[in-house]
Structure 1
């Protein structure tokens, strides 16, 4: 091997230093990316909605609603780098479960889902409601009375999945706002959705008022659900932050603002 001159040594050392810096900077960048939280939601007014009115959003500034503001109240007490996005529910639900540092809200916490996530909450609660068209004469005394009826639902939604598992006739759609039209066109006898969501979507999306709440058959608290591969210390920190926001009265104020 030929001997290196002092100039050559300086150049070689500079190259080594530069390579080491690139490796370290690349490691730092990947660490930052790994530590970032990705929090997803769906369009489900008044719990989650977009300022733009679109069904998707790429940042928190375009996301609003009862649960959204509650999650933001917790985030304001934490020092995490995060991204908040709005996507279709079925897509986000599957995406979040398989990835570290990913969360999803508002997610109904049920026995069937208990082991699938780590839970932060509760946020708000949903009332599982069967709606009929304004001119419908359907009357139900119990859920079993709807066994022979066609029910419009939302694909991947906890209420729709519950009814499907119980053997009800549920016609699901990727977008929940089409279910109002199904009622009005006679393609479905009932629509299963939350007690606040149904009338709001019908009015804002289709200008339809007077939906009939035929039966409220369950009430479920909603949560921010983190994937099981997310660091439990992050989940615990979120729970403390949410508890602090609740103790300060922020969560009650948020909910009251939307229910007025």
Structure 2
């Protein structure tokens, strides 16, 4: 039989090594996303409402999240062609369904048309937008019906800031964006938010999702892990705490 002293020593050693073993097993997930404050903020390390929610959800599943800030078109292509990454702030569309797996929605966005304040135009149907020029950004999934409507003259811009300045300069009538993001971008670039207004009604009320490319062999596990973690942080109240932090 094993001497008692040696047995106790082995038990102590085993207990001490357990935390290190679990720490070593923690897996890393890489997220690639464009800066989209307040949801994704280019800081060191990256932060923002979506980033903090994804980190918290993955942490419950023993994943650590790192974030790379890249232009959205590039991030989307990297996901589409199978790089081992996730997108943490994506809108759903029928086109994206072809190459992305989507999580359950973790937030909802109001997608709006935004114009100068002295423009009193509002709309009821897409036909009311006949002849209007609207700034968009390539590869953004604003809303399937909006993108398909034949009346609106959709003008591609390089960035949201570019579209905002195009409205200021009178080159386009309005741009389409999540209103909270638009205000944050204006403030960041020293543009007076009070010069703009939200055109009513909203174009869409869109869910915000985590997504991974179907060509990525780990995609289903990443999405499933996020969904499990999201449920946990919702039940624990951590999700609400993160949201309140960015509403202060």
TM-score, normalising length from structure 2?
0.79
What runs of 5+ residues in structure 2 fail to find an aligned partner? 1-26
SS, match of residue 53 in structure 2: helix
Per-residue CA deviation, residues 27-78 of structure 1 (Å, 9 max, x unaligned), is: xxxxxxxx85321111111111123xxxxxxxxx431111111011112223
User: What's the counterpart of residue 217 of structure 1?
Assistant: 203
Asked if structure 2 preserves the Cα contact closer than 8 Å seen for 1:36 and 1:101, the reply is: no
Query: In the aligned structure 2, how far is the partner of 1:143 from the partner of 1:156?
Result: 21
**TM-aligned CA deviation for residue 162 of structure 1:** 5.5
Asked if structure 1 preserves the Cα contact closer than 8 Å seen for 2:93 and 2:143, the reply is: no
Query: In the aligned structure 2, how far is the partner of 1:122 from the partner of 1:179?
Result: 27
Verify: 1:230 aligned to 2:213, yes or no: no
Query: In the aligned structure 2, how far is the partner of 1:234 from the partner of 1:257?
Result: 26
Asked if structure 2 preserves the Cα contact closer than 8 Å seen for 1:163 and 1:170, the reply is: no
Query: In the aligned structure 2, how far is the partner of 1:63 from the partner of 1:96?
Result: 19
Asked if structure 2 preserves the Cα contact closer than 8 Å seen for 1:160 and 1:172, the reply is: no
Asked if structure 2 preserves the Cα contact closer than 8 Å seen for 1:160 and 1:170, the reply is: no
Verify: 1:119 aligned to 2:102, yes or no: yes
Query: In the aligned structure 2, how far is the partner of 1:82 from the partner of 1:217?
Result: 32
**TM-aligned CA deviation for residue 131 of structure 1:** 0.7
User: What's the counterpart of residue 126 of structure 2?
Assistant: 143
CA 1:190–1:92: 2 relative to 1, 3 Å: same
CA 1:207–1:100: 2 relative to 1, 3 Å: closer
Per-residue CA deviation, residues 152-189 of structure 1 (Å, 9 max, x unaligned), is: 11121111775343232111122111111111100110
2:167 to 183, 208, 218: 183
TM-score, normalising length from structure 1?
0.76
Verify: 1:70 aligned to 2:56, yes or no: no
CA 1:153–1:44: 2 relative to 1, 3 Å: same
Runs of 4+ in 1 over 6 A off after TM superposition: none
Query: In the aligned structure 2, how far is the partner of 1:238 from the partner of 1:209?
Result: 35
**TM-aligned CA deviation for residue 257 of structure 1:** 1.9
What value does the CA root-mean-square deviation take over the aligned residues? 2.2
Query: In the aligned structure 2, how far is the partner of 1:135 from the partner of 1:128?
Result: 21
Asked if structure 1 preserves the Cα contact closer than 8 Å seen for 2:126 and 2:149, the reply is: no
**TM-aligned CA deviation for residue 84 of structure 1:** 1.6
Per-residue CA deviation, residues 214-255 of structure 1 (Å, 9 max, x unaligned), is: 121211111110111233233322221121111111112211
SS, match of residue 94 in structure 2: coil
User: What's the counterpart of residue 22 of structure 1?
Assistant: none
Verify: 1:95 aligned to 2:95, yes or no: no
| Max Rg structure | 1
